Amino acid sequence: MKARTMPDGSVPALALDSRGRPCSIALSLQAVGEKWALLAVREIGFGNNRFGEIARNTGAPRDVLTARLRHLESVGVVIRRQYLEHPPRYEYHLTEAGRDLLIVLTTLRAWGDRWLVDEAPAVFSHSCGAELDVVHSCRHCGGEVVPDDLRLRVRSPGWDRRGPVEPQDGPRAPDRGPGAS
């Protein structure tokens, strides 16, 4: 598995981990899967672009937040724009990749609202005016996506649903577990 080239031709600054299953989830978590990083993206998505606002609203220690923002910048999730020369001060803005991540955070928020709190601490309204209730749908057929309808097709050479396929093992029995295709 290799890192994707960004629209501007750059490659995110990630060392691809060769341990375990090749997986975009693992790579995504390597890029943005730390608490303070995701909360910084949340705040920037809310329009809080200055370091002090992000630090206050996330509760992150300032040194840790500085490191996370630098990392998010290096992987192409945020860009830094100077708004003051003396002393130099910067605002953080989401890139296209960062804006796409807001959909992931919306789904994570919905999961937390359902499973972790009695009452949602914040709600979003859709442009139609209704309170947002996220539903994932198939772009091809328009049907709602639920886990039981998904089928896994492993495309990484040397792997199947159950794990690495060793050439000396010979053929495995048909893969009939959950998500098998």
131 has pLDDT over 70: yes
Average pLDDT over residues 3-9: 63
Please state, in angstroms and rounded to a whole number, the distance separating the CA atoms of residues 78 and 42: 12
Average pLDDT over residues 67-89: 96
pLDDT in tens, 84-119: 999 999 999 999 999 999 999 999 999 999 999 999
**To which residue do tokens 């792997």 refer?**
159
Whole-model pTM? 0.82
CA-based nearest residue to 154, from 165, 144, 143, 168: 165
Terminal Cα-to-Cα distance of the chain (whole angstroms): 22
pLDDT in tens, 14-70: 666 668 899 899 999 999 999 999 999 999 999 999 999 999 999 999 999 999 999
- pLDDT for 166 equals 83
4 has pLDDT over 80: no
Name the band, by pLDDT with cuts 50, 70 and 90, for residue 76: very high
What lies within 8 Å, CB to CB, of 42 at 6+ separation is 58, 105
Q: Residue 146 corresponds to which tokens in the numbers above?
A: 């639920």
Q: Residue 24 corresponds to which tokens in the numbers above?
A: 């975009």
